[in-house]
Every structure is written in C-alpha cells, then in structure tokens.
A and B are shown apart, each in its own frame.
Chain A
C-alpha cells in the first residue's frame, strides 16, 4: 500500500497532469482517504478513464476488482470502486467515484481494461449504473426482463413470486 504521503503525491501528480490538460474543469481528485493502511482516491466521475490511464502509467497495471456500492440515503448515492494493483511494487490503490441517483452514468473502462466487462455488467445489473460505451450492456446475473436493481439499499427483501412454467404468464416477466 502507498503510505499517506505517497497517496498525497499521487493525488498531486494527477491534479497537475489532469488540471493542465483540462484547465477549465479543475482537479480530477476530489478527496484522498487513508484508512486502515489502505489508500483511496475519490475522483470526479467524468474523468475516471483518464485517471485510471495515468495510474496505469505509474505502474498500477492490474485492475483487481470493480464493484458497486450504494450509500443510500446519502447523495451522491451510488459509488463505483476500482481496485488497482501494481504487481511489481506489490502496491494497491483504490479509486472511487460517486454518482447521483438521478444520473447514474459513467464511462465504461472495458475498452482499456477487458477484465471490467463482466464486473461492469454486474454493477449495472445490481445498482442500475449505466456504463457508456460498454460493448454488451445487458444484465448478467438477473433475468433480462427483471425490474429493479436488487442490491440498492431501498430494494425490498422477499415477497417475490417464484417463477414456474405454470405461472409464467402471471408473474414478473409477463408483458403488461
């Protein structure tokens, strides 16, 4: 893990590099968090692709995990978390972005990181985050005609009729 100082240096570097590239839009790094020996960069959602590419140039070449999280009832409500790993220095850094529930949209990183394919589809399926530019933006674990996003905090638990052949026309999955 980078220590607190190195995290600030990385954030500085990103601010300098990205800030000069797009002088009008300001810094891509909103916040740095150092918690339990783990470093997290909270970045602006619009700049996630550029930030991940910069971090890859710094050596964080392996996208270990991509997952979603729901901060309900706080806003911006949804979060997408990218766990990056530098296999040579054995160093991890977490990149996090927050999305408002009104516009849960972010650029897909699948073109640059093929491993994100299934994981972005899972986040889309479970949290309703749309990944712009994903090659196959469909549900992955739930049926394609499922309504709602089960891992959102306000999604009700239980009470869903079980789908059998005999009641297929009456339950979820029927056309209105």
Chain B
C-alpha cells in the first residue's frame, strides 16, 4: 500500500498495520523499569498472537520482556467478538439458547444452563426433579470434556504430544453420549426453559456406565504419564504462583482460585439443580502455582465421575420437562387430538413465551469459574438484555500478575493453566 493510500486510514488502523507498536508504549504499565547494572538495560516488546498455537484461540498478548523475563503483559482481545449479547436481544427466549451456547464453546451446556435458569427464575417455572438430574449428568459430562480438552492442549504446550490424542479419544466418547441424548455432538441445545428437550434414550445409561467405569482409569493413566515426566513437572512446579487474596481482588474463581487454597465452589456453596443431593469433594491446592492448577483440574474429573454415578443411580422418575404448556412444547401425540395443545404449540413456535418484567443474575459453577447470566425482561417475548459474566473474561486479568517476573517459557505454561476460552472472552 502506498503512502498516499495509507493516509486515508485512521491512526488506529495505521498503527495496527505497522510493524512497530510504539504508540502502545505510551500506555501506563507496571514494573517496566529495567533492572541490571546500568550498562545493558533493554526492554523488548514482543507481540504474541493472535494466531499462535499456545494462545488457545485468538488471544493477543503484548509482552514486555527484559531478556527472557516477563515484565508486563497486555492482553488485547476482541478478535472473535460476534455480538452474541446483541443477537440475543433480537430473538425470542427459546431461540436465544443456541446463541448463548456458542460463547464458551467447550462448555456449552453451562452457558445454556445459566441462561435457562435465569429465565426460569424470572418466569417462576418449576423444573422437575428428573430434569434437574439429567442436567447434572450432562453438565458434569461436559465438565469432563472441557477439562480433557484443557489437559490435551496444555500438555501439547508443555511438549507432551501424545496426551492430546488420548484426551480427544475420551472426549469422543462423551460427544457420542451427547449425540445419543440430543442428536448433536456440540452445541446440543439439550437444555430448555423448564427442563430438557428429551428424555435419555434406551441404552444411554449402559453406555454412560461403561464410560464412567473407564474414565477414572484413563485419568489415572494421564496423571501417571504427566506426573512422571520431569520436564512437565519442572515447567509447572513453582511457576506463575498467585495467592488467594490477589485472585479474589481480581475476581478470579473456579479451579484457579481453588488451586490457591480457597475451596469456593458454587455447587457446594449455593447448590442449584439438586447438587445438594450428591456427595463430592472439592479439590484444593496449597501454593497456587501452575502445578496446583493442573492437579486441581485433574482431581475434578474424578469428582465429576462420582457425581454422574450418583445422579444416574438416583435418577428420579417423572417428566423431563415442566408440564406448564405456556413454556414447554406439548408432546407430539397431543397435537393430533387436542385443540389446546395445538394452540400452545402455535403460540410457542411463532411468538414464543412471554416473561414477566424484571432482572435476574443467575450464577453457576462452570469449568472455569463463576458463570453468571444476567437477563432483563421487559415483559415481551424477547429478552431486553442478556449478559454473560464469563469466567474466562475476568480470569484473563490475572495473567499479567501471574506471569510477571517469570520466564517467557513459564508464561506459556501459565496461559495453558489459565485455560482461557476466547469465544467466552469476546462473546
């Protein structure tokens, strides 16, 4: 592009095109004084991402380095911003579910759960016990699937390539189960306002039990491979530590906070969807370094298996979705015989249901921390505002605090253990 053409661009566009990022140097930043003997002071600003295999998405980091030591990190985000919150305002409530599922694309059941629960709270819809248990089964399966992807990609960053293939093998079995219950492998739209769309099919329980029998053994194997790997241990132990108080001030929740010794888990603290019925432990770490984060998530997979086993054993009978025809579609067979069912079906499919005016913030525990859904209703059949408090978005603020003063190679491990999902960060 010639100089004449360039001048028609705004200053921001020109800066984005340039190979230097000098104007960003003017921004205030912490800890940028170079240390040393006064003869060899030099700070290097390195652009890292947005397209880089170790950023787990399109995360761009401006890293200020002194030699190999990280002095500051500035995350630059927004590359996959798709305006999901805006889109949601333009759709009736039940059509918002598939949209919000695409935010955190590894934990789609959680997004749907937060949104559906917020709408259920607004509309005061009772969720049947069987639906609550089915939700727990799918949520915890999704938690395992999400942690498996985290484990596989993180191990890849740390140089253990084979783990990735093993983790995807186990995840495939979970996706097969999702396909069995909902017909979709990802973004299943299984959760509905008032319950779940369909009951689990025959054969699901047996296949799930097979998986539950194998999963702890597989997790043992992965743990054995990684915990006996000196390189992995050296890259994780003692790197990127951050204490619980700083994490809380930064709003960090989930496994990152638990790794620092704070046993905060919404499934225990504020049980939702019948979590109070299940016996499980909350794994916590001690020093809050990368190894603790790794160990916490590994241990969580075993706990999720325990929860699913209990939910499957105690699965109550009854309907899988609310009987309230104002919110749930009538069963197919009623359409041929009942005029009322036909009217309800027509109203739900064309206009959707109306929700009483009000505002609700509904938090749940996603694999990455507190996932809160704020829904404001103005009384119409479309939400007036949908906001997701995505844990990845908030947790990302802790990255520079974790990685400052460490080596750049440790920053890679820290990003991996942070487990950011850019779809959730940018929404």
Contacts and interface: CB of A to CB of B under 8 A. Distances in A.
Interface of A: 35-36, 38, 40, 61-65, 67-70, 81, 83, 87, 90, 92, 94, 113-115, 117-119, 122, 126, 135-136, 139-145, 150-151, 153, 155, 157, 168-169, 173-175
Contacts of B86: 150-151, 155, 157
B361 A38 contact: yes
| Size bracket of the B interface | 35 or more
Interface stretch (B153-161, B168-176, B245-253): B245-253
A64 B389 contact: yes
Contacts of B8: 169, 174-175
17 contacts: A67-B389, A69-B374, A83-B374, A87-B248, A92-B363, A113-B249, A114-B251, A115-B251, A115-B252, A126-B85, A141-B426, A145-B11, A151-B86, A155-B86, A168-B9, A169-B9, A174-B8
What secondary structure prevails in chain B residues at the interface with A?
mixed
Nearest to B27: A136
B394 A119 contact: yes
Given A36-B358, A64-B372, A90-B269, A115 B250 contact: yes
A94 B394 contact: no
A114 B250 contact: yes
Contacts of A143: 12, 78
Interface string B361-379: 1010000001010101000
A141 B9 contact: no
B264 A64 contact: no
Contacts of B28: 135-136
B81 A87 contact: no
Contacts of B396: 118
B28 to A, nearest CB: 6
B121 interface: yes
Interface string B260-272: 0000100001100
B248 A61 contact: yes
Contact of A145 (B10, B85, B269, B389): B10
B250 A169 contact: no
A107 to B, nearest CB: 18
Interface string B263-291: 01000011000000000000000000000
Contact of A63 (B83, B251, B360, B427): B251
B149 interface: no
A69 B9 CA distance: 32
Contact of A35 (B251, B358, B370, B426): B358
A35 B86 CA distance: 25
